[in-house]
Amino acid sequence: MGLQDPEAEAAVLGSLLLDPARIDQVSGQLQTEDFGLPAHGRIYAAMLGIQARAGAIDSITLAAELERRGELKSIGGRPRLAQLQEGVPTARNLEHYAEIVHDLAARRRLATQLDCLAVAANDPSTPLADIERRAREVSDAVTSPIGPSERKLRFLTALELAAEADSKVEWVVRGLAARGGITELAGPPKTSGKTTFCLRLARSVIEGHPFLGLETRKGPVVYLTEERRPSFLAALGRAGLAGNRDLHVLTFSRSHGIAWPQVVAAAIALAEKVGACLLVVDTLHRWAGISGDSENESGAAVVAMQPLHAAAAAGLAVIADRHERKSGGEVGQAARGSSAYTGEVDIAGSLRRWPGGRPNLRELQMVGRFDDVPERLLFELDSLSGTYRLADGAEVERERLLGVIPGSEAEAATEPEISQRLGRTRATVRDHLSALLEAGAIHRAGGGKRGDPYRYWRPQKLSDGPIGKVTASETQPLPLAAQPVQPNGKHPVGVSR
């Protein structure tokens, strides 16, 4: 069971569905984050939302509230709510179940504090006064626990909440990594270039230079790598980081026998000592010891992510990369294993090689909880300088389009045929064909009518290689006010959908 009890959590939720009026008895004791399983926390938060509006809590209203929040599918849908209600015969033991959940949550928080204290105490460079201060904080938490009756909840208006804390996101890499947030970077193993991407991002942060046209916050970086020393040294050299004093690296081979929470606690302590603003975990499943069937278990996902939440709570921006499943999928759904991993992060990205004949061209698609998260970036690694350059998406698409257009009039293809070969909509293909016709890169035959459609081919002199220059811009950031705004209010970078 460890420091969580999914059955007790389910019993709390099932009891509240059986006897919703008793939510007042536990709402002062249990917080959403006390639930070890994220899905249980979302269900409880939805119940509290209904309660705040003085609504009636039942399986129907709860499902509607979860659907309104866009979370019904992620918790298992209506069948899961029915299972929760059927899983407890009576709500008589609600307070007992709630006490179990509350106790384990307190233990998890205390364990994290103790791990950080142990790391600091074993570091001779940590001032003794800092260690003693942390020890007193832990001692206070142990000797003066806040019981349900002593816990005072303070509700704030939206105005008070905005005045109490700076609501502005503090970006380490604008749109990609925020202090206090976790970013998941998924991609196929070996081919997507996740390590290459993370190292070049780390270099930009260390030097305070823009990354893919995005502003960065200058500061040291802590990097956990699964690679062996020789291969990682080579990667550091390619990234221009060999010998850098602001990149603090721990290789997986040097962590043998140390538990994952302790590794992260050590990383947090080091980050505090050197003033680091970014923690990179490459790759999460290796460092957290996730293997076999456990990768698909939501409970294992929650346990693996808890130390990263502690790192984010310490003010670090966290980037953790994961491998994609063979079948791929939509951004936020393609990473291997349980979807609970992605549910725990603030930004999810999918990094993939761009299809076509340019091996260094990559596409990054992203979704997140912040407005500044770019939906799509297209960029290419310059083999000579070792740096990324943003690519013009339209030009890249047209170059790829030319690769599927026949090289002679006898083999000329229609718009639907080209659309099918390229895997793009006819409207998109039509726009690119018009641009290529105007540039003289392709020819057209036919009358453009039923029975005699337009057919396209490349002139013979252009059939031996890619056509059209793909422009690449230096990655200098534009002031946000100067960037075009999409209908959804986001600022596109590189190319948009």
User: Residues 226-252: pLDDT tens digits?
Assistant: 999 999 999 999 999 999 999 999 999
Residue reference for tokens 């998924």: 186
Q: Among 357, 391, 425, where does a domain finish?
A: 391
Which two three-digit tokens encode residue 346? 């603030």
Work out how many domains the chain is built from and give that number: 3
468 in a structural domain: no
Q: Is the pLDDT confidence value at 365 over 90?
A: yes
In a domain, 325, yes or no: yes
Indicate whether 379 and 416 sit together in one domain: no
Residues 138 and 190 in one domain: no
Q: Are residues 266 and 382 located together in one domain of the fold?
A: yes
What per-residue confidence (pLDDT) applies to 152? 52
Instruction: Please state the separation of Cα 84 from the chain's center in Å.
Output: 29
Q: What average pLDDT score do residues 291-310 get?
A: 81
470 vs 50 pLDDT, higher one: 50
- Could you tell me the CATH number of the domain that includes residue 58? 1.10.860.10
Asked whether residue 483 carries a pLDDT value surpassing 70, the answer given is no
Cα 123 to Cα 56: distance, rounded to the nearest angstrom? 54
CA distance 169 to 141: 30
Would you say residue 492 lies in a domain? no
Let me know whether 376 and 437 are in one domain: no
Residues 373 and 386 in one domain: yes
The answer to whether residues 10 and 115 belong to one domain is yes
The pLDDT of residue 69 is 85
**CATH code where residue 186 lies:** 3.40.50.300
The answer to the question of residue 414 being in a domain is yes
Is residue 403 located within the same domain as residue 383?
A: no
End-to-end CA distance of the chain: 45
Using alpha carbons, list the distances in angstroms from residue 445 to 273, 405, 424, 442: 69, 13, 22, 10
Decide: 98 and 73 in contact? Cβ < 8 Å.
Answer: no
Enter the pTM of the model: 0.60
Same-domain pairing of 255 and 369: yes
Residues 134 and 256 both lie in one domain: no
Residues 49 and 135 in one domain: yes
Q: Where are the alpha helices (DSSP H) in 275-334?
A: 284-287, 298-313
Q: What is the percent of the chain with per-residue pLDDT over 90, rounded to a whole number?
A: 44
Which residue type, as a one-letter code, is found at position 49? Answer: G
Sheet bearing 413-414, strands edge to edge: 413-414, 455-457, 443-445
Radius of gyration for the chain, computed over Cα atoms and rounded to the nearest angstrom: 27
182 is a domain residue: yes
Domain limit, last residue, from 375, 391, 407: 391
Whether 483 maps to a domain, the answer reads: no
Provide the pLDDT for residue 150. Answer: 44
Angle between helices 6-18 and 77-86 (to 10 degrees): 90
Residue 59 maps to a domain: yes
Pick from 358, 394, 399: nearest CA to 376: 394
In a domain? residue 477: no
CATH of the domain at 407: 1.10.10.10
Q: Which of 23, 19, 28, 29 is nearest to 46 (CA)?
A: 23
CA–CA gap between residue 345 and residue 181 (Å, rounded): 7
Q: How confident is the model at residue 330 (pLDDT cuts 50, 70, 90)?
A: confident
**Whether 142 and 35 share a structural domain:** yes
Regarding predicted confidence, which is higher, 163 or 368? 368
Same domain, 216 and 319: yes
pLDDT of residue 162: 67
Domain of residue 359 covers 171-391
* pLDDT recorded at residue 164: 55
Reported as a single tens digit per residue, the pLDDT across 124-142 is 887 887 787 777 766 665 5
Can you read off the two tokens belonging to residue 327? Answer: 């079948």
Listed residues 333, 365, 391: the one ending a domain:
391
Mean per-residue pLDDT for 466-488? 37
